[in-house]
């Protein structure tokens, strides 16, 4: 029989999770890199220049190539290298990319502007999330003279106003923390740490992959934990699995939801493609020296990750056209 304190604690966790589930709706992001969406943003900029951040020094929408997934990949990896180098909270990158994605989805952005938006977003996110802060001069050093403190301060105000100051989204990392900490209380410390590490790693893979931009953080978190449970199958106490299943239902989440299954399937394949039994690398490459200056990103290839995508029939295929079997949560 659980103690009254345990019951109260469980109720508080459920209430927090329900609040986060309501909040995440306000931070949803459209599939903004589709040609149709980008064309719409470019057309809106031509008819109303106030919808863009083009300062007159950049090409017009008709002559400028729009941003793409590759640019997002590079910026995301740069952010992870930045926070690792200065030993800042890695979840800052998730918040930063949410800010970037939501801001960029609402206006035409050239690669040049995209860079300062991303630099400013990680600056905002670190202030919000990380217990340790990044000195402005360190951030400017990485900009190699491209931007000043005034440039970043001005862009910060533009972003905050554009997003109505909604810059603290509930992340998949946050959902994982609440669900795991409140559900897995009987497993050994080693088993719990392994589960937490794998779930965290999976949420970080999701931050980099544009596929997850349009997915709810709660779906990504639930899928990450399901994959992590599969990977730690014999370590976790069965009572904890039952408690986790109960907690998921109590807050209105559903492991059989179509979006959760899609996230689960992709994360499972990504984990298999990006790890080996001997090694579980950090997303972004922790401890690999100083981060690249932001001005060098255009000439810096993204880290080689095995890419997967969906074909017109909805099948998962590799970059070489090989079909990958889908998996269902069990």
What is the per-residue pLDDT across 231-240, written as a single tens digit (0 to 9) for each?
998 899 999 9
Average pLDDT taken over every residue of the chain: 84
Res. 278: pLDDT tops 90: no
pLDDT classification of 324: cutoffs 50, 70, 90: very low
Break the chain into its structural domains and give their ranges.
31-162, 172-324
Domains 31-162 and 172-324 are alike in CATH topology: yes
| 3-class DSSP state of 318 | strand
- Checking if the pLDDT of 315 tops 80, the result is no
Q: pTM of the full predicted structure?
A: 0.81
* Edge-to-edge strand list for the sheet holding 316-318: 308-310, 316-318, 323-324
Distances from the Cα of 164 to the Cαs of 22, 117, 161, 168, 266, in angstroms? 17, 16, 5, 11, 32
Tell me the fold of 31-162. Answer: Cyclin A; domain 1 (1.10.472)
Domain 172-324, CATH homologous superfamily name and number: Cyclin-like (1.10.472.10)
pLDDT of res. 63: 47
């Amino acid at each position: 029989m659980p103690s009254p304190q345990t019951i109260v604690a469980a109720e508080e966790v459920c209430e927090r999770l329900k609040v986060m589930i309501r909040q995440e709706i306000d931070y949803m992001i459209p599939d903004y890199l589709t040609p149709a969406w980008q064309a719409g943003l470019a057309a809106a900029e031509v008819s109303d220049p106030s919808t863009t951040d083009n300062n007159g020094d950049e090409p017009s929408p008709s002559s400028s190539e729009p941003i793409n997934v590759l640019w997002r990949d590079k910026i995301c990896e740069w952010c992870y290298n930045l926070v690792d180098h200065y030993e800042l909270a890695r979840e800052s990158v998730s918040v930063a990319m949410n800010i970037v994605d939501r801001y960029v989805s609402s206006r035409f952005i050239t690669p040049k502007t995209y860079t300062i938006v991303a630099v400013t977003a990680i600056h905002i996110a670190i202030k919000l999330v990380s217990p340790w802060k990044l000195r402005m001069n360190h951030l400017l050093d990485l900009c190699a003279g491209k931007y000043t403190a005034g440039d970043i301060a001005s862009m910060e105000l533009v972003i905050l106003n554009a997003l109505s100051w909604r810059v603290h989204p509930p992340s998949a990392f946050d959902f994982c923390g609440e669900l795991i900490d409140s559900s897995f209380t009987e497993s050994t410390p080693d088993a719990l740490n392994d589960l937490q590490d794998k779930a965290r790693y999976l949420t970080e893979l999701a931050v980099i992959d544009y596929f997850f931009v349009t997915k709810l953080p709660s779906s990504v978190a639930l899928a990450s934990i399901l994959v992590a449970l599969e990977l730690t199958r014999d370590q976790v106490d069965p009572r904890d699995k039952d408690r986790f299943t109960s907690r998921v239902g109590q807050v209105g989440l559903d492991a059989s939801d179509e979006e959760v299954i899609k996230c689960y399937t992709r994360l499972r394949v990504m984990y298999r493609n990006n790890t080996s039994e001997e090694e579980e690398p950090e997303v972004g490459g922790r401890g690999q020296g100083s981060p690249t200056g932001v001005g060098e990103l255009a000439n810096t290839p993204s880290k080689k990750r095995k890419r997967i995508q969906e074909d017109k029939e909805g099948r998962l295929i590799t970059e070489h056209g090989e079909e990958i079997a889908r998996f269902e949560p069990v």
